[in-house]
Amino acid sequence: MSSSGPVVLEDKFFEVKNIDPEGKKFDKVSRLYCESEDEMELIIDINTDIFPVEINDKLTISLATSLEIKPSKQVDSKKTKDTYDPTLGTDDKPSLMDNYDYVMYGRVYKYQPEKNYSVVSIYVSFGGLLMKLKGEARDIQHIEPDTHLYLLMRKN
């Protein structure tokens, strides 16, 4: 996926509706069930030891192909992987992380159209922590399989 900027889904607001409805499977991980005001559905596994969340919490979530605020070059997140940059997020080199509390890096492994292609679900694995994002195709159709993404999250 080529993009002129790193952000592919910008500041969507979700409310946590349920946590671990099938029971807790891991000590430090919970599965959140969230909805946005525009009826996007989000199911996501997060490390609750690092980022504790409760039902009815309001979350702001963005997806990006790079953490750089203004990437120095065109980003093709299928062909290139970001390399570790220890200066990213410092005073010398601000990043998208500066405005968020929880960040994960993963890969889109499945893209599933539904309802005559008007609704789409994307599935992302963040090193085993999974996410399903379901919404109107016009909002997320540009997110393709094998795209590498950063998920950025904060509480409102």
The per-residue pLDDT for range 40-52, each reduced to its tens digit, is 999 999 999 999 9
At the fourth CATH level, which superfamily is domain 2-155? Nucleic acid-binding proteins (2.40.50.140)
Q: What is the pLDDT of residues 15-32, one digit of tens each?
A: 999 999 999 999 999 999
pLDDT tens for each residue of 78-98: 544 556 566 666 667 788 999
Angstrom distance (rounded) from CA 77 to CA 106: 11
- pTM of the entire predicted model: 0.85
Note the pLDDT of residue 3. Answer: 42
pLDDT for res 102: 97
